[in-house]
Amino acid sequence: MGFLYTKNFNEQKERAMEGLRKALAEDKVDHDIIPLLEKINALDNYFTTSSCSGRISVMEMPHFGDKLNSLWLGKWHGEVVVEEVLEAVGRHSRGQLWFLVRSPILHVAAKTMEDAVKLLNLAIGLGFKYSNVKSISHKKLLVEIRSTERMDVPLGEDGELWIDEEYIGRIVNLANAQVRRFKGKLKRLEEEIARFNSQAP
């Protein structure tokens, strides 16, 4: 049984931080989540391994769930205006066309099981209700921080649209409300993580 703590945690963290610095340099990290990542990585017993600040997107896929052959026609990490979405929808040509909202997702490695549970409980308490422990081994204890906001709306197939522009306006409004909601949760998490830090022994 090696589930109580992560072996070589500090070496792993060093490698992860190197990867993060590279991703930041290449502008591959969602901007509005960077301060939160920095606050988590400032804690001795945690480091981030991947993150997405949440998004609205328009996606073409051969069939649902086939991510490998999917194509983003539009992707936004904040609120959108209907014209942007219509423009993306206009680029549709084949496969299934979907309008999607995905909540923020953060993967955070923890040094000990106690650290993992502490972060998990904080996240759930702040409204990240789908948070969980993603993987558990002596190689890694990974906490997944995830919220409930989500939309999966089929818009058409093989170039044909099933809905009208007015409908797209409606779902854009709903999606923007979800974005405001999860951005608020991210902000609160950032504040609480900063407090986490100062309480560390």
Applying CB under 8 A, the site for a copy of itself has a residue count of 37
The verdict on 113 binding a copy of itself (CB under 8 A) reads: yes
Is-contact 195 175, C-beta < 8 A?
no
Say if residue 67 is exposed, middle or buried (CB neighbours under 10 Å; 0-12, 13-18, 19+). Answer: exposed
The verdict on 1 binding a copy of itself (CB under 8 A) reads: yes
The verdict on 10 binding a copy of itself (CB under 8 A) reads: no
The verdict on 136 binding a copy of itself (CB under 8 A) reads: yes
- What is the smallest separation between the CB atom of 153 and a copy of itself, expressed in angstroms? 5
Residue 197 CB partners (closer than 8 Å, separation 6+): 39, 42, 43
Is-contact 76 84, C-beta < 8 A?
yes
Quick one: which segment of 7-15, 32-40, 44-52, 167-175 binds a copy of itself (CB under 8 A)?
167-175
User: Which of 45/178 has CB closer to a copy of itself?
Assistant: 178
Choosing from 37, 80, 89, 171, the residue that interacts with a copy of itself (CB under 8 A) is 171
Quick one: which segment of 19-27, 44-52, 155-163, 193-201 binds a copy of itself (CB under 8 A)?
155-163
Buried-exposed string 94-104: b where 16+ CB fall within 10 A, e elsewhere:
ebbbbbbbbbb
| CA gap 140, 124 in Å, rounded | 21
Q: Diameter of the chain by CA atoms?
A: 60
The verdict on 120 binding a copy of itself (CB under 8 A) reads: yes
The verdict on 176 binding a copy of itself (CB under 8 A) reads: no
